[in-house]
Amino acid sequence: MRPPNVLYAQSGGPTAVINATAAGVIQAARAARGRIGKVYAARNGIIGALAEDLIDTGRETASAIARLRETPGAAFGSCRYKLKTPEQDRAQYERLIEVLRAHDVRYFLYNGGNDSMDTAYKVSAIGASLGYEVGCIGIPKTIDNDLPLTDVCPGFGSVAKYVATSIREASLDVASMHTTSTQVFVLEVMGRHAGWITAACGLAAERPGDGPQVLLFPEVPFDEAKFLARVEATVARLGWCSIAVSEGLRRADGKFVAETGFQDAFGHKQLGGAARLVADLITARLGYKHHAAVADYLQRAARHIASRTDVEQAYRLGAAAVRLALAGRNAVMPTIVRVADQPYRWKVGVAELKDVANVERTMPREFIDADGFHITPACRRYLSPLVRGEDYPAYRNGLPDYVRLRNAPVARRLARFDP
């Protein structure tokens, strides 16, 4: 009898290290030869699983899989697609089980954030009721760091390292030129609902006078007068000011600043873009020349400056998911458990998907200082180990030599199905 197969799928926004998790899954499964047959990947996430659009990772060389560990993006394709509940759309679940059955998949590993853990949880429950046993393991991945029950989410540490490094560098730039040029620099970062990435920018400010001096968290309602006073005081003291702003900055009424139809002081309608809004406000009210950067996808794809801690955690959670599956577990997610801050030690734990699904972890208030514009020492203690260590990709012709997989399709066995 041939051993059962694994189906691995990537979900939601890519990170710099989601492929490190994929490498962990594939290498662990290859090492378990005899107990695991094929490792399939769903093309474009759950959509590929529903469409029976599967990839045979066995067609990739060992070297390609090793390089996957240092390649950003989602190598098998990902998607934003939330399954309805089994009550709302039973046909989708039946189709998914049909695909798993057709390809003798007994282990379904779903690598994503909140919505994906919810999907994995639903799938974990439906197999048995449809008469097909499948071990369903969620693997955490999100730059937003907002999953509960894990100390950190793979993907976050590398974004944190990137944004902290970037704003440290840009702050040195603006500090150099403030007497005759730009006084204020603003960097917009991701994290629409949770301020973890904004907080990470604060790591760059280690000594008095270091930038950034002001952080605008999504958790702290934007108080224009207080903010302008803080910027003015900083420029009075140093001659310049460096600011990190979350794309999800909100007003006291809970609306996103960048989506409220808010007009800036020049009377221009804002098209979105928290950084530009904040920067224009400063120039209009305080007269300082500004520059603004929007990191956007650069931040979550920046494998060239990944955190080694993050890469290792991403990789090991992939391998752990395979071990959990082989141990017969279902409806669980491997987690990162922090053992000690300093020196940092961590281990892999396990959480139940039912406790993870649809729970969002925002920044604890004690991580934001009293005036709401910076991080506390407790926050720094939490964040600092997560950005430690470098894990440089190989370079070719001066640029990172990221792998492009063959992604050879698996022959279809079922009728077409349009998700």
CB atoms closer than 10 angstroms to residue 335: 24
Q: In whole angstroms, how close is the CB of 220 to a second copy at the nearest point?
A: 24
Q: In whole angstroms, how close is the CB of 164 to a second copy at the nearest point?
A: 6
Is residue 158 part of the contact set for a second copy (CB under 8 A)?
no
Residue 160 Cα distances to 217, 234, 299, angstroms: 15, 24, 9
> Of 83-91, 128-136, 318-326, 391-399, which segment contacts a second copy by CB under 8 A?
391-399
Q: In whole angstroms, how close is the CB of 195 to a second copy at the nearest point?
A: 19
Instruction: Please pick, from the candidates 301, 317, 333, 368, the single residue that binds a second copy as defined by CB under 8 A.
Output: 301
Is residue 285 part of the contact set for a second copy (CB under 8 A)?
no
Q: Which is nearer to a second copy, 231 or 324 (CB)?
A: 231
Quote the distance between the C-alpha of residue 394 and its chain's center: 23
> Of 244-252, 293-301, 329-337, 365-373, which segment contacts a second copy by CB under 8 A?
293-301
The footprint of a second copy on residues 126-155 (CB under 8 A) is none
Is residue 78 part of the contact set for a second copy (CB under 8 A)?
yes
Q: Which is nearer to a second copy, 27 or 71 (CB)?
A: 71
> Of 90-98, 215-223, 312-320, 378-386, which segment contacts a second copy by CB under 8 A?
378-386
Catalytic positions, written as ranges: 144
Query: How far, in Å, CA of 358 to CA of 347, rounded?
Result: 24
Q: Which is nearer to a second copy, 149 or 235 (CB)?
A: 235
Is residue 392 part of the contact set for a second copy (CB under 8 A)?
yes
Is residue 398 part of the contact set for a second copy (CB under 8 A)?
yes
Query: How far, in Å, CA of 3 to CA of 37, rounded?
Result: 5
Instruction: Please pick, from the candidates 102, 229, 265, 298, the single residue that binds a second copy as defined by CB under 8 A.
Output: 298
Is residue 341 part of the contact set for a second copy (CB under 8 A)?
no
> Of 144-152, 266-274, 333-341, 409-417, which segment contacts a second copy by CB under 8 A?
266-274
The footprint of a second copy on residues 204-233 (CB under 8 A) is 204, 206-207
Nearest Cα to Cα of residue 112 among 353, 399, 394: 353
C-alpha dihedral sign at 406, 23, 387, 368:
positive
Q: In whole angstroms, how close is the CB of 160 to a second copy at the nearest point?
A: 8
> Of 168-176, 313-321, 326-334, 359-367, which segment contacts a second copy by CB under 8 A?
168-176
Contact code string over 21-60 relative to a second copy, x by CB under 8 A: -----------------------x--x-------------
Size of the site for a second copy (CB under 8 A): 77
